[in-house]
Structure formats: structure tokens, C-alpha cells
Structure 1
């Protein structure tokens, strides 16, 4: 008969490992935060340019010629209401990915301080999570600005709904996790531009930010539903405007699984990084 004492010791050891992992992750994040906190205003405003341009061009410009509800699931007074959640998703993607990627590239390629991070005696997963949390913070700072714009023009307080905020955090986690991986993999800033041009920019327009994916032909719908931004846009839009009975609950586990998979991938790259 197995003694309960070794089982208890095993469980306590696993709990202790998790606590150490979380503590190390927060330590890495705190080091990033010390740098971010002196640039909060810059971070919060720099990523607003692109969403504001889209809101002005598509929401107020093109949106005036689009009748509410035509080809769009849900009840919206105008096209601006439809695209605002997509703009929140777009800003979370862009800032989380670009900010994280350039932060790591700067440490690796220019300041050469990244080697010191690799010598820190913490688990590679803690390194990834700490960097990812910093990216999440970048994305949230900018996204909150877009949310304020949404509140100003629509008066819809469901932009602060817990489901809306949960999906926003998951979206930031996915794209900051991707930013960590790209930042660890590229050898030059020009390579970052390639990732941005071939992944981020196409996803900005195909990720359900400007249209309802359900209106697409089946072949295109398959492509669109492979993109993480699609689930962020659909979930944020539903959380802001639709009843809970119509909420796409599948978007939460899909984004969560993507974030976990990217974390494991990032931890593997950290473990084998040679910089």
C-alpha cells in the first residue's frame, strides 16, 4: 500500500515549483515595468494613431455609406459601432506584438544586455511569461485609449464588461507571446518588418475587424478562422453588443490554448537561445 506521505510531499513540491515559477515570472515582468512606467504616456498614445485613422476613415467616412445591419450580424446603429470592438482588438494585436518584438530585439542586437537575462537562474518559461506580461501591459495601455473613444462615441458601458476585458487580456497575451518568439528568432530589424508585413498587416484586415466573417464564402472563411485576431474581434464585439446567449464562448478557450502553446514554444526557444 502506498504511503500518503510521499504523495503529500510530491504535491507540495509541485505547488512550490509553481510558486517559484510565478515569482520568477513576476520578477522578470517587474524589471520590464521599471522601464515601461517612465513611458506610460508615450506607450498609451503611440499605438492610438492607427486605430484612430481607421475609425475616422472607415467609421465616419466610409461608414456613412454603409447601412447598419447590412451584412453584419447584430443590431448596430451605425458602422462605427460595429468596427470599434475590432479596433480594440487591432490595437491590442499591433502594440503587443510590435512593442514586445522591438524590446527584445533592442536588447539582443543593440544594447547587448540580453545575454545577462539568459544567465539569470530562472526557468525559461518564467522568462517567456515575464516578457509576455510586459507585452500584455503595453497592449492594455493602448487598448484602454480606444475603449475610451468607444465610450465617448457610443456611450456603451459594456466595453468595460468582464468578458470584454478577459478577451482583451487573452488577445494581448497571444500577440505578445508571438512577439517574444519573433524577437528571439530574428537576426535584424529588417526581418521584423517582414513579419509585420506578411503576418500583422494582412491579419489587421482579414481578422474580422471590418467585416463579419460569417458573410464570407466557405473557402475564405476557413482562412479567416485560422487567425487569432478573428476570435478576438468576434468575442469583443459580442461582449459589447450581443446577449450572453449569443456570445461565442469558443473564442475564450481558443485564445487561451494559443497563448499556452506560444508560451511553451517561447520557453523552448529561451532554453536553446545562444545569444
Structure 2
């Protein structure tokens, strides 16, 4: 079946339709939320496993041999304090992407109820935003669990300041948006594993979660600064540990532009989806 709808952008899309677009987006999100709320404990607990392992292995294990200030920008009491914001970023990426991808892939390939969604008379952009918001909610639920762990170990209440939470939401939006696009294109669950192995896992270690990218050689900096996780990690670390005067404000527009670009791309894919 080919979804026969107008393009997600162009002459057919007027600003007067913005309110309807938002309402439709939340309607799509609400359908996913009704399912998500029955799995809150499962989602939060499963998403906490990897960050906790990293915190134990790198924060307490490797971190004991790394002196604060040795190649780390800013004033940190220990390496654990340095990597905790990165663990929040890592959690937001993994759960937002993987959860969204598997949700859409399962609806398309197994339950076979995805065609019903494509027949709903709403704009393709609303479909993408609604699914993306569900991914954002998944990422936030797990990330807030990591934040609680960070508060226990650091007593740093900056993990709850509005700037930190804004960057966290943008990070979840970027990776949930990417998860929507991948979920719409994969042909099997094995393909999801390939995306995870070649995109998410490498980004987990190269996205400035465990190191300060400012210390890298120029060639490696170019690669690292192409990754959205880098801006999430840098922004979250600065919001949690640095004074406002040192905050890298460029992280906000970069993450926002990425989220918008992925939304437009996802809406285009929805408008041409075949299932």
C-alpha cells in the first residue's frame, strides 16, 4: 500500500494548519503512551543496565586511576563526576533510538497494524512527530533514572536545572527522530541490529561521553564533531558542571536543527511509505 498524501512541506502546508498539526501529533503520541505506561518499570530498568555498567566500570574502576584535571576541561572532583552527564546523554540516545525503532519495526513486520496508522487522516509530519514524542518519552524515563543515580553520587542539583533538561529533551528528539526513520525502512529485526552495531555502539564511545573532544588531534575532532551525541554530551556536561558563562551555546541550535531536519525527512518517508 502506498500512502497517498501531500508532501510534508511545500505549498499545501500553511501556517494556519499548525494548531491542527500539533493536536494530531499529540493524538498519535497518546496512542503510543497508552501502551508505554503499562511498561514503565520494564523500560526504565532495561535502559539503566548499560549506563550503570559503564558507571561502575569506568567511573569507579578506571576512574580511580585518572586524576581530576588530567586532560579534562573544567573543575571536577573525580572522573565519575566527569562522565555522569555523558551517561545521561548515552542513555537518551540508546533508549530513544532503539525503543522507537523496535516499536515501529514490530508494528510493521509482526503485529501488522501499521497500515491502520497510515490510513489515519493526519499530516505525515504529525505522524512523525507523534512517534518521535513517544521515543522522547522513552528516553526521558530512562535518563531520569540515570540522573537519580548521578544525584546520589554527586549531590549536584544542576542535573535538574532547566538548561540541562532542555538539552536532554533535544537529544532524545534527535535520536528518536532517527529511530523513526530507521524503523520505517528496515526489512527485519536483524537489520535493526546492524544499525545498532554500526551507528549507535560506535557513537557511544566516540560521542564525547568518556573524554573531552578538545584534547583530540584535529583529524579526530572532525569526526567526533559530526556526531550528534557529541553535542549532547558537551552540553549536558557544561550545564551540570560548568558556570553559565562557559556554556557552549552552539550545542542548542545544532541539536535543534538536527531534530527539525530529521522530522522533515521522517515526514517525507511517511508520505511515501509502502507496507
TM-score range relative to shorter protein: over 0.9
Partner residue in 2 for 1:208:
208
Partner residue in 2 for 1:106:
106
- Distance in 1 (CA, whole Å) between partners of 2:182 and 2:14 is 31
Tell me whether 1:263 sits opposite 2:263 in the alignment: yes
Tell me whether 1:32 sits opposite 2:32 in the alignment: yes
Q: TM-score, normalised by structure 2?
A: 0.95
Equivalent residues in 2 for 1:165-176, closer than 5 Å? 165-176=165-176
Partner residue in 2 for 1:157:
157
Query: Deviation digits for residues 204-253 of structure 1, max 9, x if unmatched?
Result: 00000000000000000000000000000000000001011110000000
Query: Deviation digits for residues 48-97 of structure 1, max 9, x if unmatched?
Result: 00000000000000000000110000000000000000000000000000
Equivalent residues in 2 for 1:128-143, closer than 5 Å? 128-143=128-143
Partner residue in 2 for 1:93:
93
- Distance in 2 (CA, whole Å) between partners of 1:222 and 1:16 is 41
The DSSP-based 3-state class of the residue aligned with 1:47 is helix
- Distance in 2 (CA, whole Å) between partners of 1:149 and 1:218 is 34
Report the aligned-residue RMSD: 0.8
Partner residue in 2 for 1:54:
54
Partner residue in 1 for 2:217:
217
Residue ranges of structure 1 left out of the alignment (5+ in a row): 1-12
Moved over 6 A (4+): none
Higher relative contact order (CA 8 A, sep 6+): 2
- Distance in 2 (CA, whole Å) between partners of 1:45 and 1:20 is 36
Tell me whether 1:227 sits opposite 2:205 in the alignment: no
Rg larger for: 1
- Distance in 1 (CA, whole Å) between partners of 2:188 and 2:14 is 39
- Distance in 1 (CA, whole Å) between partners of 2:45 and 2:190 is 25
